[in-house]
Structures are given as structure tokens and as C-alpha cells.
Amino acid sequence: MMQINIRNSVLVISLLAPLAVFLGERACALSLVYLNAPGRMQTYANFTSHEIKFASKIRNCEDALLIEPRGLAILACDPGRETWNTVMGDFFDQAEPDANAELYAYRYAEPSLPDADSLVRIEVAGFDSELRTIGIEYHEPSSTLFVTNHPRQGPRIEQFYLDLETLTATHVRTLSHPLITTPNSIVALSASDFLVTNQHYFTARDYPRLLWAFESYLAPPLGSIVHVRISEDSTLDAAVIARQAYPNGIALLNGTTLAVAATNKRLVYLYSISNTERTHPSLKFESSIWLPFLPDNLSVSKGGGALLIAGHPHLPSLNAFARSRRVCHRPDVLTDGGQHALKMCATAGAASWASEWTPEHGVRHIYSGWEYPSSASVVRDPERGVGIVAGLYARGLLVWWD
Ligand SMILES: *[C@@H]1O[C@H](CO)[C@@H](O)[C@H](O)[C@H]1NC(C)=O
Ligand SMILES: *[C@@H]1O[C@H](CO)[C@@H](O)[C@H](O)[C@H]1NC(C)=O
Ligand SMILES: *[C@@H]1O[C@H](CO)[C@@H](O)[C@H](O)[C@H]1NC(C)=O
């Protein structure tokens, strides 16, 4: 009898222990709802000066990347995300989709240029279907620009040839594959192979809302990191090389270390990446970085090789803010909404958080606050002392000077 009891309790403990770890981990991730609530969240502004630029010209720029030698930032901005967001699962019926997302170049190294000259729209050539951008990636040696696209026709990646002299992006091909389901961020390894994250297994478009929510909040390791090789005849050879919870931003820290955000776990995972001369590289989990916010996109600053992490400190505010933009960013809809809409738009806010990590110093915070909303990406040119934060649902960009 006694023995059975002991066995039973061993069994119970061995079942409960992982459950306790799981619940503890979930509690840590979900505690941000309390810790980062408006008024309670710790704020930082670790720079000399800052400005919110181009607020009347661009909005919803989820991604920014730097081409340091030219002092150029490339941006992808999609006002249409207000009515069609495949990541957060917000879809509003419309007779006609919104106008396509646009690409921009910002000459950040010449602060004396007037705004009208420092922000230039990139001409898109040879492309006439819907463009709903999320992540962008530029492979400099081959002038290849990869853009993750979430149009109504289904998820895909658009490949462009980006001429930096004329600022023209010429469409080369559309890449689609059964393993490219919710393409989010891309890191190019060469002109013809790249890694891409699929942040959900149960996509908001194809599965019941409950499954999507289950995956978002319980964080099972179902999202994938896929390696794609484009062969000479344009066919794709793709393979899942790792699975984890909510893989979002992805960046190569150096030749052997890959960083991938696990948004709903408050972690950035570091993997060692090996290319043992096989078709697809392999990943091995090494360690993780713990954050006071939900990490979205990652980038690496050229000089010091620091990992830059932007993300979302307070999800309830972000969700409400995201849904309200369809009204607040559109004067015609706002007018129709009357007093109620005006009040909502005057009070809705979403926080931002941008930090930097190095193995020597750990995590250091650059900006956190409510003045600029919904940070999704942060990039930094340490030599020129300039940084940019881009917000998923923000007007303009936050630009800071060290
Ligand atoms: C995040 O940044 C990387 C470059 O560091 C880029 O390749 C990727 O597409 C971006 N993704 C998003 C969702 O912003
Ligand atoms: C790459 O970065 C990781 C993480 O900072 C570090 O542990 C590793 O030593 C670096 N490798 C090289 C070759 O620099
Ligand atoms: C602000 O930046 C400096 C220089 O990078 C760093 O030493 C400091 O720790 C940062 N402060 C915070 C609060 O992270």
C-alpha cells in the first residue's frame, strides 16, 4: 500500500513538475499585463535627443533596415495593416483592399536635409498584385530585396532587385512554398538562400480563432524556422530547421550564432548555426535572453555587433490600439464615428520598448515609453550615433541621436 502511494506521488510530482514550470513561465510572460500597465511601466530614454519624424507622411512601418555605407534606411510601410493583419488576426471586410504597402528610403545621415528630401518613396516596378508587407531583408552584394507579403491570395515572399542609385525596386519573382505559411522575418544567407520565420502554426486565416489564440497564449513550440534555397530554375527547396514558440524577428549575430525572438515567451533564443556542406543548415539551441517586454523584430548593429531588440511591453493596450487605428488614422471613418470615436482616439495608446544586448553587458535599455507607440523594429548606426524605432501602427518614426 505504502509503496503504491509513494509511486503514485512520484508519478504525480513528475507530472506536476513540468506543469509548474509551464505555469510559472506563462505567469512570467503574462505578468507584463500588470508590470507594464500605463502609469506603472518603467520608462527609459537613453539618448541625447529624439524626434518623431514624418508623422504626416508615413505610418505603420513595421520594418526598418540600414545600409550604413550609404547612410540610408529602407522602410516598408503598410496603412492597409489597419484592415488586414494576418499576424494579429484582425480582418475587416472591405469592398476593395487598401492601396498597396510602400517602400521608402530615409537618408538618415544628413540631418540638415529638409524632410521632403530626406524621405524618398522607392519606385516599385514590374509588380501589379497586392502588397501587404511585414518583414524586409536586403542582401547587399547582390542588391536583392526580400519582402514578406500577406495579400489576400495567400502568404508569399517577393524578391526584388533594389537599385540604390535610382531607388527602384524591380520585381524578380514571387516565392511561395507549402512551408512558407506565415512568413514574418527573413535573414538572407546569400542571394539564393535565406532563413524565414513562420510565427504561427495555426494561422489566423486558416484555423478557428480559438486554436490561434491557444497557440498565441500557451506558447507551444509550433512555429517554424525554415531554410529556403532558390535553385537556378527558380524552384524552391525548403525545410523546417527548428520549431519554437512564436518565432518572430531573426538576425545573424555572427557567422555561427543566430538570434530568433520567441515573442510570447519574453525571450530571444540564441542558436548555433552550422552549415555542414549540406543542402540545409542545422540549428542547435544554446541559450536565451530574458526581456521585460515581448520581443518583435531583431537587428544587429554593424560596429559593435550588438543585438537590437524591439517589442511590445503591454499587449492589452497594443491590441486595443491596433483595432482603433482603422478609425483613428482615417479622417473619413473618424468623422462617421462621432463623439465616441473621437474620445477613443484621444485616449488609446500603446507602449514601445527598444533594448540592446551584448554578451559583455547583457541587456541595456534604449527607449521605453508611450510617446511613440507599438515599436516593432529598432536599428542603430553606432558610428553616426543615430537610431530609428519603427512602430507597427505608429505615425512616422522615432529617430534618436546618441
Ligand atoms: C526584422 O529585421 C530583419 C533584419 O534584421 C529583417 O530581415 C526582417 O524581415 C524583419 N522583420 C520584421 C517582421 O520586421
Ligand atoms: C558569436 O556570438 C556568440 C554570442 O554572442 C558568441 O558566444 C560567439 O563566441 C560568437 N562567435 C564568434 C565566432 O564570434
Ligand atoms: C544607457 O546607455 C549606456 C551606454 O550604452 C549604458 O551604459 C547604460 O547602462 C544604459 N542605461 C540603461 C538603463 O540601460
Q: Which CATH number fits the domain that encloses residue 238?
A: 2.120.10.30
Our answer on whether the CB atom of 43 is closer than 6 Å to any ligand 3 atom is no
* Bridge partner list, 61: 77
Confidence class of residue 80 from pLDDT cuts 50, 70 and 90? Answer: confident
82 in any annotated domain: yes
Backbone angles phi, psi at 311, to 5 degrees: -175, -165
Q: Which residue has the cell 516599385?
A: 124
21 in any annotated domain: no
Q: Give the residue-averaged pLDDT of 187-205.
A: 89
* pLDDT tens profile 237-269: 999 999 999 999 999 999 899 999 999 999 999
Predicted confidence (pLDDT) at residue 1 exceeds the cutoff of 50 = no
* pLDDT tens profile 8-29: 666 666 667 667 777 777 777 7
Confidence class of residue 3 from pLDDT cuts 50, 70 and 90? Answer: low
15 in any annotated domain: no
The whole-angstrom separation of Cα 154 and Cα 39 is 40
User: Which ligand 2 atom minimizes the distance to the CA of 254?
Assistant: 1
Total domains, the chain:
1
Confidence class of residue 120 from pLDDT cuts 50, 70 and 90? Answer: very high
Predicted confidence (pLDDT) at residue 325 exceeds the cutoff of 90 = no
Predicted confidence (pLDDT) at residue 328 exceeds the cutoff of 60 = yes
17 in any annotated domain: no
Average pLDDT over the chain, rounded to an integer: 89
Backbone angles phi, psi at 49, to 5 degrees: -150, 160
Residue 175 CA to ligand 2 center (angstroms) comes to 32
What is the per-residue pLDDT for 386? Answer: 96
328 in any annotated domain: yes
1 in any annotated domain: no
Q: Give the residue-averaged pLDDT of 118-129.
A: 96
Summary count for the chain: helices (H), strands (E): 6, 28
Our answer on whether the CB atom of 187 is closer than 6 Å to any ligand 1 atom is yes
- Tell me which H or E stretch contains 15: helix 2-30
Our answer on whether the CB atom of 47 is closer than 6 Å to any ligand 3 atom is no
* pLDDT tens profile 163-173: 999 999 999 99
For the sheet with 156-163, list strands across it.
123-125, 168-175, 156-163, 144-149, 133-139
Our answer on whether the CB atom of 81 is closer than 6 Å to any ligand 3 atom is no
What is the per-residue pLDDT for 87? Answer: 59
What is the per-residue pLDDT for 323? Answer: 83
Provide the domain limits for residue 345.
31-401
2 in any annotated domain: no
